[in-house]
Chains A and B, each alone.
Chain A
């Protein structure tokens, strides 16, 4: 069981690197969406016996992270008529290297932290920290609002991965809260992206510079 799971987590980490390395915005969105869908299937693997709540969480996650949010982002992309991240603050190769460093660091940190026996063989903790840091790099290294939103999504994916450690014990409210807030967050982000674009005729957040000391 943990073998399949580790494979999927490894795949998810690969998608964070893909998002860091690609200059085309549609592929960044696709990477974030695939990562979300992979993570959505994990609760099913984690649970020994079939439980309808877990299935509901999995289906909800896959729908939101894999379809609804990427579609919203693609719509924003079409409206803004942009395709590429032209001048990132940190280049694609350096950010890829930073991402790789993050994965190594996360693996080192993960081996330092004590785990419960049932989690000891999984990559959940290093995978989660690595994904969070990759998301954070994407958030900071890019200038297009859409890439930043993707970075935020990957960051949230990492946190979701960590949440799986607790899925058996914490009440479902926390899980529901995550999904709900995530959706609302992106709705709000979508609206703002729309407004930024209308006001500034661009989705380049570097143009947002009238407020500074």
Chain B
């Protein structure tokens, strides 16, 4: 019942937001829905329900390991959203608020989907509902970003549908009656027809990999993250990508059960390291601090893919990383949004001295960058450490070394750009545009909350969460 509410509640709130008459009070629906959703998700985390056999969706161990993070991410972003939409009172927010709430409902559905077809429908719908969020700013650049997002994301999602069909046919050819729930597919195991299974894995990895933003299918990401409002960027980087990662993990479970474990691990490792490398190279050169966050997200998706390729311990560490990355990115996107508003620009040739223009946001941004580039004692450090340890345990010495190298270059690239915009003297443009951007508690407290959550995950990882990640990893890759 509670798991249905997780999906239905945001959708009901979305309908209410659409019908809500007042522009000024509508944004308050976001935190109300966020609080209720988080309470439900945490309740389910502590007291997981029994999963009905052959159910199309349910709060299974994998959903339990990631869904509360998405819920918390939405909650903190929604608090920011109230202040943000007050600042941006000149733009109508009916569609924006509705789309955000629908997105939360669809994410909850996709993360809980136990059926290949249902998972795809939810993923596609999430792609579509994101489009109005991306062009909230209504500028020409925002439309360009939405167009590219729709074209690249749409193609990716089409490939994943074709892959789902191939997997369905592998099961049908292997003698099943057409039950596409993941439990049924896993139970079929080696009976799945091999050539179809391989085709399906390639297409699904390419399709959901596009949604996740693995290189070389990441091209929509810099545009979308660069032009979207900060809170939308945070939700994309922590929510939608998590959904795609979970989809890949679920498919991987099926392919592994059919005896394709070596193939899935090798391809994920290759895609992961390639993404990290591409991201590190772009991070060294990009002049735009919001696009920098997109490349950082590509890098972290690569880290997740590498983690997923490193056996059970690696998967548990990757799920840990889903939490640390999602919440730390939240702090970065929100503070970057503040800096962008105060500076009136987002490239290093136009922005400098933000430590004076928007002191609190600039400080949060610097600390956030340190956190996301794995400075102890923030959570990212521990989750990446676990992934590297898993790499050494599984004798992937080359992968672990390459992983460390990419992290180092990413750190160089990001710290270069961050200090370029934070230090120095404020530019004339910023003095003109940032007439009076007061850093109100509404836009400062949410990123601080994210940093606190990241710190808490690092210093005192709750045993409950550890247990949830390990349980999910055990289900995904049963240790023989």
- Chain A positions within 8 Å of B, measured between CB atoms, are 112-116, 128, 132, 136, 139, 145, 148, 152, 155-156, 158-159, 162-163, 165-166, 168-171, 173-174, 177-178, 181, 184-185, 188-189, 192, 195-196, 199-200, 205, 208, 210-211, 213
Contact = CB atoms under 8 A, between A and B. Distances in A.
Contacts of A200: 140
A199 B117 contact: no
Nearest to A189: B150
Interface in B129-184: 131, 135, 140-141, 143-148, 150-151, 154-155, 158, 161-162, 165-166, 168-169, 172-173, 177-178, 180
A47 to B, nearest CB: 15
A59 to B, nearest CB: 21
Contacts of A165: 165, 169, 172
A169 B177 contact: yes
Contact of A196 (B147, B168, B172): B147
Given A136-B155, A165-B165, A185-B154, 16 more contacts: A139-B151, A152-B154, A152-B155, A155-B155, A165-B169, A174-B120, A174-B180, A181-B121, A185-B128, A185-B150, A192-B131, A192-B150, A195-B135, A195-B143, A208-B148, A210-B144
Interface in B262-298: 282, 285-286, 291
**Which of A115, A132, A158, A169 counts the most B-chain CB atoms under 10 A from its CB?**
A169
A159 B158 CA distance: 8
Interface of B: 117-118, 120-121, 124-125, 128, 131, 135, 140-141, 143-148, 150-151, 154-155, 158, 161-162, 165-166, 168-169, 172-173, 177-178, 180, 193, 195-196, 199, 222-223, 226-227, 282, 285-286, 291
B173 A115 contact: yes
Contacts of B161: 159, 178
Contact of A116 (B135, B172, B195, B227): B172
Given A155-B158, A163-B165, A173-B118, A211 B128 contact: no
B14 to A, nearest CB: 15
A156 B151 CA distance: 13
B168 A166 contact: yes
A211 to B, nearest CB: 5
Contact of A152 (B151, B162, B223): B151
A46 to B, nearest CB: 14
A211 B128 CA distance: 21
A173 B143 CA distance: 32
A196 B117 CA distance: 33
Contacts of B173: 114-116
Contact of A210 (B128, B141, B151, B158): B141
A159 B161 CA distance: 7
A210 B144 CA distance: 8
A169 B195 contact: no
Contacts of A136: 155
Contacts of B162: 128, 132, 158-159, 162
B154 A208 contact: no
Contacts of A188: 128, 131, 150
A155 B282 CA distance: 31
Contacts of B121: 173-174, 177, 181
Contacts of A195: 135, 143
A170 B178 contact: yes
Contacts of A152: 151, 154-155, 158
Contacts of B282: 213
A184 B128 contact: yes
A178 B144 CA distance: 26
A101 B15 CA distance: 49
A211 B223 contact: yes
Given A173-B118, A181-B124, A192-B146, A166 B158 contact: no
Nearest to B146: A192
Contacts of B147: 145, 192, 196, 205, 208
- Most interface-central of B124, B199, B286 (chain A CB within 10 A): B124
Contacts of B120: 174, 177
Contact of A139 (B146, B155, B286): B155
Contact of B195 (A112, A155, A178): A112
A196 B173 CA distance: 45
Contact of A166 (B165, B193, B223, B226): B165
